[in-house]
Amino acid sequence: MTESNPTVERPLFCRFNIIAGIFITIGLWLTYLRFTGGLGAVSNLDHYNPWGFWIAFDLLCGVALAAGGYTTAAAVEIFGMKKFHAALRPAILTGFLGYSMVAFALLYDVGRPWRLPYPFVVSPGVTSVMFEVGACVALYLTVLFLEFSPTALEWIGAKKLRRIAVRLTVLLTIMGVVLSTLHQSSLGAMFLLVPSKLHPLWYSPYIPVFFFVSSIAAGLSMVIFEGTLAHNSFKDKMDEQHLKSADHIALGFGKGASFVLAAYFAIKVFGVALGNNWHLLGTNYGIWFLVEVFGFILLPCFLFAIGVREQNVKLIRWTAFLTVLGIVVNRLNVVLICFNWQLPADQRYFPHWMEIGISIFVITVGLVIYRFIVTRMPILYEHPDYKKTH
Amino acid sequence: MNEYIHTLQEFMTQTKGMLYLLSAGYLISFVAFWRFLHGRDKEDNPKVQAKK
């Protein structure tokens, strides 16, 4: 390991630690309020609006943006694109932490969080889409833990266990792709239940397909975006191979994302055609829909394509950020902005600041764990004992 | 547009007809997009060669 310098110590009171410390302190206080005063003490959720900002942002956005794990693993391990191997461990780590934070955030959102395992052990509702989502997320989180385990085992020096974990890689990748296909689409399928509550431009019988296809674009873009952040913050942890392949990964994933966004744009337009909702495009919601479809799907599709043609990595990185933002906008539209759209404004849900505060707390916890792992484990460099073995 | 639709048959005819037209347009434009996306993948691209 000639290149990376994993022993570089970072000061305890750096800017990141101070800001994270403030957010975590506030978050712990909000956690105390949540678990002593109940949901009503920290949120605007009620019987009419049981799903709010936590489900929209922490869960739906979190799951979509954590899709980089299965997309990268499928590209490298199943489709044999070994040239993207340097992106695999960071993508798996992001996916693992993303799903862990989703489960963590659910503890706040579910009224009685200790009953989270009930669907599996007490009263399984096997005909429910939500059961399928819960089962897949739980299984996929386990798969991601096992996919991540070789990194941790290299760190602690457990060579025998690592060898077993590495042998499971292809099997775990296949399971990860299957489980992700199921639950990414099922998250959309949950909204098949509410055709009268969700605005017709966003509701479609094909909403599961929309969610699945958009998750692939989100995953590819998130790998580029996360790679950019890692490149800026942890350059000293990267070995030569990671530094060299960073641009190549951005170009390859940018091309893939452009292709997927082109398909996503088409099926979104087909959704409008199938519902014969053209007349709604002239309304306020219609204009917002056009902003989403043209500004956050078609525009990044072409920006990615131009970036690939011109070999403009900077453009691809900014476009990845735009795509990530677009996926967040889409999920917020489906769950919050365009949900219960017919109700008068005073009956609509608007998140309490404490809900947003808890979401920021959850993200901060994820970032602190990410930083802890990246600065210690062989994520951005190859462990010297296992070079060329994975 | 909607005032002319009275039956499911009319609705399906209109929406399916529109969908077929859109699909044909999309398939044709996707070929152009594909060529645009991969247009400079060739070996004679100096920028690609410089990266190698």
The tens digit of pLDDT for each residue in B10-40 reads 888 889 999 999 999 999 999 999 999 888 8
- Cα nearest neighbour of A305 on chain B: B37
Q: Which of A204, A265, A297, A309 to mutate against chain B (most B CBs within 10 Å)?
A: A309
CA distance A258 to chain B (A): 8
Q: What is the pTM of this model?
A: 0.90
B47 contacts A270? CB cut-off 8 A: no
Name the H helices within chain A. 15-37, 39-42, 53, 62-65, 68-73, 88-109, 118-121, 129-156, 159-167, 169-189, 207-233, 240-275, 284-290, 299-310, 313-332, 353-374
Instruction: Measure CB to CB from residue A311 to each of B2, B11, B51 and give the nearest one.
Output: B51
Cα–Cα distance between A307 and A323 in angstroms, integer? 14
Cα–Cα distance between A165 and A271 in angstroms, integer? 43
Phi, psi of A204 (to 5 degrees): -160, 150
The tens digit of pLDDT for each residue in A309-345 reads 999 999 999 999 999 999 999 999 999 999 999 988 8
- Cα nearest neighbour of B50 on chain A: A311
B18 contacts A309? CB cut-off 8 A: no
B39 contacts on A by Cβ (under 8 Å): 309
- As a whole number, mean pLDDT of residues A207-217 equals 95
B2 contacts A262? CB cut-off 8 A: no
Is residue A28 a contact partner of residue A42, using CB atoms and an 8 Å limit?
no
Cα–Cα distance between A372 and A248 in angstroms, integer? 27
Q: Which of B7, B9, B37 to mutate against chain A (most A CBs within 10 Å)?
A: B37
Least confident window among A231-235, A244-248, A386-390, B30-34 = A386-390
CB-based contact, A259 to chain B, within 8 Å: yes
CA distance B50 to chain A (A): 11
pLDDT for the residue B51: 55
The tens digit of pLDDT for each residue in A23-80 reads 999 999 999 999 999 999 999 998 888 899 999 999 999 999 999 999 999 999 999 8
ipTM above 0.85? no
- As a whole number, mean pLDDT of residues A189-213 equals 94
B51 contacts on A by Cβ (under 8 Å): 247-248, 311
Share of chain B above pLDDT 90, in %: 38
Share of chain A above pLDDT 70, in %: 96
pLDDT for the residue B46: 56
Residue A5 has pLDDT above 70, yes or no: no
- Cα nearest neighbour of B49 on chain A: A311
- Cα nearest neighbour of B52 on chain A: A248
Instruction: Measure CB to CB from residue A276 to each of B11, B23, B36 and give the nearest one.
Output: B11
A269 contacts on B by Cβ (under 8 Å): 22, 26
Phi, psi of A38 (to 5 degrees): 85, 180
A262 contacts on B by Cβ (under 8 Å): 30, 33
